[in-house]
Chains A and B, each alone.
Chain A
Amino acid sequence: MPQSSPISSVNDFVVRFANVNGSGSASANELFARAVLRMGIPVSPRNIFPSNIQGLPTWYEVRVTEAGHLGARGGVDLMVAMNPQTWDKDVASIEPGGYLLYDSTRPIPPAKFRSDITVVGVPLTAICNREYSDPRQRQLFKNIIYLGALTALLDMDVGEVEKLIGEQFKGKDKLIAPNVRALHLGRDYALTNLPCPLGLRLKRAQAVGDRIFIEGNSAAALGAVYGGATVCAWYPIAPSPSLAEAFSRHCARLRVARETKKNKFAVVQAEDELASIGMVIGAAWNGARAFTATSGPGLSLMQEFIGLAYFAEVPTVLIDVQRGGPSTGMPTRTQQSDILLAAYSSHGDTKHVLLFPEDPAEAFEFTAQAFDLADRLQTPIMVMLDLDIGMNHRLCQPLTWDDSRKYDRGKVMTAAELEAGKDFGRYLDVDDDGIPYRTYPGTHPTEGSFFTRGTSRDRYARYTEDGSAYVDNMQRLLRKFETAKELVPRPVARAALKPTRYGVIYFGSTSPPMDEAVAMLQDDGKHVDMLRVRAFPFHQSVADFVADHDFVFVVEQNRDAQLRMLLVNECSLDPVRLVPVLHYDGTPITARFIANAIGDHLDALKITPLRKVVS
């Protein structure tokens, strides 16, 4: 008998599916998450997968959260244990009072279970062997059968799953009936033989609203389509390929000329990251909007070219879907550990504009905006996504577009202006904002041509090694970086319920768990003001926020407190006032982790040190 009483919860629990990579479980698991969503209950699913195609363990975790907490929670309430390789670890990870669903075809020694959890067995293999003769079907339908059992065990609306199966196999209609049948094999077994429902239940709610369910990589790719990108050059590297592939897919639907059936886009899979960024720079130099998507190792390879784009002032958009580093690191795990590499990419004195989207909706918005920023500032713009946002379906606000918006192509001198005799100096700061005019190749027969180079030059793009001309140019680039501060997305501040001397700075995928952590701290009587940084260079309000508080926690997903370093360095802040809160084991940061770290620190501050009274 369980020692802990079974967990009882409606619309607030975590289900984890433990599977073998390549067994076809992903689509069944995703059906589960979508069906919960269709019941009006927010979910936050996460793929936890190895760098492998077949055979290694993989997990899919679904946080069911009517309250809308979209960050990872930590802990598992119901484990669907389908992988013997990871059985012990999976069983151990269940919360006391939690539940275990397993394939009971073959007996498992009692020692392999725990006494403080509820164990539910479904003879999945036996059912499959009875019903199907084809080994592939036996494998695939096993997943649908456990999904069917879950509909009964969790009191789920089976109609929603059936509807989703119908949508999924639209056009391949003969697959619908066998899938629905498999679903009911599992459901009927559970209803007949198991204590349905368990303590964990689903109840139809109205908590989803008009939000959409999309992966960050796909949303960013849509942002590139809407932002006017016509050239995408990329090299496959986890976790970014789905972004470039989504761009191709979206373009095939949205960017083909109606009459000629010709493409208003070009996608090239390059031979390496050096070539992909080179192609982007060449295309952008020639007046097309171009981008690449990569991750840390790719960004390392691109360093030389990024320096060229900075110094020669070529608008370049780069999306970094960050993963665990350094080196090959953890290719399929998440981190925010490319911040410093991105901010100061390449040799010599350089600084780059970074954008930090918090979710797919911002990934869409910031990617589209990155092309305007790149053209306006004539410099590389890096959109810093990460695996947690990029490769997981996330519930977010619907994507929006203002039809009156026109692309800002920045300062481009036209043939007419050149013809009229307007002075053209490629590196001439005519508006005192550090941003010069450029011309596209082929604009005018005799005026406006220039030589683009990574070597030093004067204001008229003529090669020079003269020290004062070099310094003049470098100072202008700094002025341009100042201009960028006013153009990039502003930080978002949220004041605590009660006045407080403490603040917290965070960014990117830390956003959902941060919201939840602050709510947890609040319940504990601890208050912190929040500031979500959305871009580098930092707006003045970031330094002001730090100045307004005794201590500011800086929460990030890397070992070395990279954003904190950037803050200290760029805003000349006293490091003592910035308290790092760091999570970097490759799993997404959780609200529990943040709340504990900040809570412990605040508790420690309350302890008044004993002092000898000096008489």
Chain B
Amino acid sequence: MSATGAADSAAIATGDPAAPGAVLPDVPRSGGRLVDEIAFPPRERYAEMVRAYRDAGFELCADLCAVDYLSHPGRALPDGVAAERFEVVVNLVSLSQKRRARIRVQVPEADPSVASVIDVYPGVDAMEREAYDLIGIVFVGHPDLTRILMPEDWEGHPLRKDYGVGRVPVQFKEAPGPR
């Protein structure tokens, strides 16, 4: 048990510190609060983008979640990014550079699917299943895209804004019949 000083672990010492700004330069970016950069790749280049960030030294995928912007009055997006109903948000951390990056992908309502990045970050397994379960984003290439929090036979995706909260009867077990 030693304290600080073991920073030269092989796992952290990957990547090129200068690279993150140079990863896929033609993708719109913006700054943000408490994050070094936010990238808005088109859906087709999302997996490529995540891989490029990983190769640039972002070793840890901290979080992956989806947002349904159906009833949002309008959000600020950089030029060249067309707002769609869904958004998949990936938060990456670089341990070696102490940086955070966020990737926001627009996902259209008609085809709510993006490529799975499970082969880049195996840790997104549960997070992609959660996003599929609660928002209904299909992650193409995920080996086991099943419901994770809701019951297997549940209908609908509860965190969608058009999910009728009050309309769905509460699923209790049947009352025991007379014996």
Q: Do A and B bind each other?
A: no
A-contacting residues of B (Cβ < 8 Å)? Answer: none
B-contacting residues of A (Cβ < 8 Å)? Answer: none
